[in-house]
Chains A and B, each alone.
Chain A
Amino acid sequence: MERPFILTSFVLLVAVTFWTIHHLRKGNLRSARIALAATAAAFAFLFFFLTLRGKATQACPLNTLPDALAFLGWSILLLAFATGLSFHIHLLGAFTAPLVILLLLPSVFARRFPTFVRLNPLDPWVEFHAALSLVAYGAFGIAAVAAVLYLVQENNLKSHRFGKTLFLLPPITELTLANARMTDAGIFCLTISFIAGYLSNLPIPFFKLLTSCLIWLFFAASAFLRYRRKSTPRLQAILSIACFLLALISFPIVHFLSVLSNLMPIP
């Protein structure tokens, strides 16, 4: 029942990616509006998919890696809309699509969508902790996308390459600002989620604690350098991408350890 929703969302995002590439090469601005509409539709279908998964598992749909990655993709799209609108970065949604496509791949190719029995009773702190962690990761994801856009646009400006994309991409100052705000938002959400995790009485595996703390520290160090004015926007962009990649690579392990202590699949 859930599959058509995730498939539609996936197809729409693939279409947005190709449409954007095609129109960026042509230098046509209309692509932004069409891409925005298609991304909004993909977001809605992803929302329906997650709702159905939530009903099936009687909790936040975070119990399997595909579900958690789909939830992360959803939060990235949500924040892309919010950031794109508030910073007037009209192509942010379109540039976010490839990242969300990667995150949806496990769900799209999943043979079945399993349901779970809970070992422990439902703890709202755990649910809040898990959901907010993924929103924080979503914010870091958007910061990374803004950082990629920054590096592309900076390279255009530095190398005096005046192709069709130079005047289509957003100004670098706005990208720097979006990157900084999203990193700050991510750190804030991750901090709250850590507090929520601490308030729940779940046992925390050591490796999960170590990885989560390291990720928080990396992002916090990057923000600290920015606040102390010790780093340039370029360095900020590179740090943002590196930290997000680290968070993304460690995500399956952290997720596996989290689920292991809380749930087990129905045979």
Chain B
Amino acid sequence: MNIFCAGINHRLASVAIREQLAISDREAPCFLSRLLRAEGTTGAVVLSTCNRVEVYAATICPAHTSRLLRELLSDRCQVHYPLYEFHTPASVRHLYRVASGLDSMVLGETEILGQVKRAYSLAAHAGTLCKPLHKLFQNAFHVAKSIRSETLITRGPTSVGAAAVELAHQIFGNLSGKRILILGAGETAELTARVFLQRGARSIIVSNRSFDRAAKLAHEIGGLAIHFDNWQNVFDDIDILICSTSAPHVVVTTSQVQLLMARRPHRPLFVIDLAVPRDAEPAINSLDGVFLYDIDSLQSIVHETLQIRQSEVSRCEELINSEVRTFLRWLQSHYHHRIANASNRIQESVSDLPYRTTKHSSPPASSFLGPAPDHFQSSRLPS
């Protein structure tokens, strides 16, 4: 039995190709049942995400499965694309790497595990899972969870927005109920504010030199717009300040913040300065309870996270290799067991034959058939 894997991913093909090969959830059952028609194929799972289209199959004739898969894919888009192919044990290792996020565009991302689970449940509903594939995917989920908890591969933020949110978590804990003030109605600030809203931030106040623009952005994100001259009036109520004005000079000065913080010494303030040139004076970071991060410091968190993740790859590979060996042992014992069972059944049925004959003392075949005709008898007799 071979675990066969073939497909295409973000490294091999552009999105223009991937989108042509993508298999939707609705199409998957039909695609899988057609693939099962390949000689020797006992089970199949299709994993189709924005970054990859892959098929995993349990087969004793990988060449047949591969040929049919290529035919099915070229039927979809009328063009032959080069696919990568893996056979046991490389296919097993590949699935474990995919489920753990090691093969993802952003190293260590966790969304892929949900997508692999979805692919598995689609195949289960379509009835195209066999025991080896079931075991393989269950192991893949287990491996992904172990890697997530035992290594740092999923640790830390991988984008500027996510870095800002992670830092806010380290300052405030729960973000629900936190209030945000945006200075300047820039696109980056808007995106960052939206991430905060998704994570439970209570409300957003937008202040811009052009009040109309502030009002427009506030309307889009469900916030409140205030005149730029009044932003200091709402300072007591906010927890996070996002600066992204296009002003060529400093907008938030140390002396201003010092005065404002004296009114709320017990509440920390997280200042995210996304503007270039910077809006906030760097010295405000030295004030008690103020945590200032500019675009460079946020990007350095992302960079450091990616470095940490990269350094964890070898640990993940070790874990995966050990799990691959465990699965191969299981696969071997499973098939030894099945072959032994099958040979036992054959032996039993063979040994049963004379027993039945003697027990029921069946009459000889000639008694049913009657005497053979003369011409037949003569033809069988040696001349």
> A residues engaging B (CB < 8 A)?
26-30, 88, 153, 157-158, 160, 162, 164, 166-167, 169-174, 226, 229-235
Contact B170 A233 (CB under 8 A): no
User: What A residues does B171 contact at CB under 8 A?
Assistant: 157, 171-173
Can you name the residue of chain A whose Cβ is closest to the Cβ of B173? A171
- Given the interface contacts A153-B170, A166-B170, does A233 sit within 8 Å of B266 by beta carbon? yes
Q: Which of B98-106, B240-248, B296-304, B334-342 contacts A (4 or more CB under 8 A)?
A: B296-304
Min CB–CB distance B310 → chain A (angstroms): 14
In the complex where A231-B265, A235-B288 touch, is A167 in contact with B170 (Cβ < 8 A)?
A: yes
In chain A, what residue has the closest Cβ to B169?
A171
The binding surface of chain A is classed by DSSP as loop
Any A CB within 8 A of the CB of B268 = yes
CA distance A231 to B293 in the complex (A): 24
The complex places the Cα of A73 from the Cα of B155 at a distance, in Å, of 34
B152 contacts which chain A residues (CB < 8 A)? Answer: 26-28, 164
Q: Do A171 and B170 touch (CB < 8 A)?
A: yes
Closest-CB distance, A222 to chain B (whole angstroms): 13
B149→A172 contact, CB < 8 A? no
Q: Is B172 an interface residue (CB 8 A)?
A: yes
Write out the residue numbers on chain B whose beta carbons fall within 8 Å of the beta carbon of A229. Answer: 264-266
Q: Is the CB of B293 within 8 A of A160?
A: yes
Interface size class of B (residues with CB under 8 A): 20 to 34
Residues in B whose Cβ lies below 8 Å from that of A172: 170-171, 268
Name the residue of chain B whose CB is nearest to the CB of A159.
B285
List B residues 273-309 near A (Cβ within 8 Å): 285-286, 288-289, 291, 293, 297, 300-301, 304-305, 308
- Which A residues are CB-close (under 8 A) to B300? 160, 162
**Which residue of A29, A153, A174, A226 is within 8 Å of B266 (Cβ)?**
A226
Tell me whether A233 and B308 are in contact (CB under 8 A): no
Task: Report chain A residues within 8 Å CB of B166.
Answer: 167
26 contacts between A and B (CB under 8 A): A26-B152, A27-B308, A28-B151, A28-B152, A29-B149, A153-B170, A158-B286, A160-B293, A160-B297, A162-B304, A162-B305, A164-B155, A167-B156, A171-B171, A171-B172, A172-B170, A172-B171, A174-B173, A226-B266, A231-B265, A231-B266, A232-B265, A232-B289, A233-B288, A233-B289, A234-B288
B167 interface residue, CB < 8 Å from A? yes
CB distance from B261 to the nearest CB of A (A): 8
Distance between Cα atoms of A252 and B342 in the complex (Å)? 79
Q: Which residues of B contact A226 (CB under 8 A)?
A: 266
* B39 within 8 A of partner (CB): no
Asked whether B266 lies within 8 Å of A234 as measured between CB atoms, the reply is no
CB–CB B155/A167 < 8 A: yes
A164 and B308 contacting across the interface, CB-CB below 8 Å:
yes
Chain B residues, Cβ within 8 Å of A231: 265-266
B212 at the interface (CB under 8 A from A): no
